[in-house]
Amino acid sequence: MEGSIHNMLTTSKEIDIRFSEVDSMNIVWHGSYTLYFEDARELFGEKYGLKYMDIYENGYYAPLIELHINYKKPLTYKQKARVNIRFRNTKTAKIIFDYEIYDIADNSLIATGYSVQVFLDKTFQLVWSTPAFFEAWKRKNNLELH
């Protein structure tokens, strides 16, 4: 899922399941999935120039307002997984990512999800129109502006 195909920006991050992430049943605690998604967002930002500090330096915050996870199969201690992240282009002033987590050993689907972020200005007011820097970022990455 690496690269930009058909105007889709994607990347992948491999993760090793650590002991601190599992519960007494040796299953990854549900809250750890949000951290895996966060790690994928950070990697995406580094790869495509949309890091949290890039957003901040352009005068905005981008808090999560929605996070959805659909668990298909458990992850366990010492398992290796891959988080795929894809930017979902939209005409709204939002940053939306789709996620898939796969078991590296057999490529089985572990979980899917998505996250939605909005833009706030430096006084924490919701920004309804797409910021100019974000429109420029979309153009730079050959994403059609809807």
Query: Tell me, what's the pLDDT at 24?
Result: 92
Beta carbons within 10 angstroms of residue 82's beta carbon:
18
Query: Tell me, what's the pLDDT at 4?
Result: 39
Domain ranges of the chain: 3-140
Per-residue pLDDT of 102-133, as tens digits, reads 999 999 999 999 999 999 999 999 999 999 99
d(CA 144, CA 32): 34
| Sheet strands (E) in the chain | 3-5, 8-16, 60-61, 64-71, 80-88, 94-103, 109-118, 120-121
Mean pLDDT over 10-22 rounds to 96
Closest to 38 (Cα-Cα) out of 90, 101, 93: 101
Given pLDDT bands bounded at 50, 70 and 90, which one contains residue 145? low
| Whether residue 3 has pLDDT greater than 80 | no
Specify whether the CB–CB gap between 36 and 47 falls below 8 A. Answer: no
Helices marked H in the chain — which ranges? 32-48, 52-57, 132-140
Those residues with Cβ within 8 angstroms of residue 70's Cβ, 6 or more apart along the chain or in another chain: 111, 112, 113
Global pTM reads 0.91
Structural class in CATH, domain 3-140? alpha beta
Mean pLDDT over 13-26 rounds to 95
CA angle 84, 116, 18 (to 5 degrees): 45
Per-residue pLDDT of 34-85, as tens digits, reads 999 999 999 999 999 999 999 999 999 999 999 999 999 999 999 999 999 9
Residue labelled with tokens 């996250």: 115
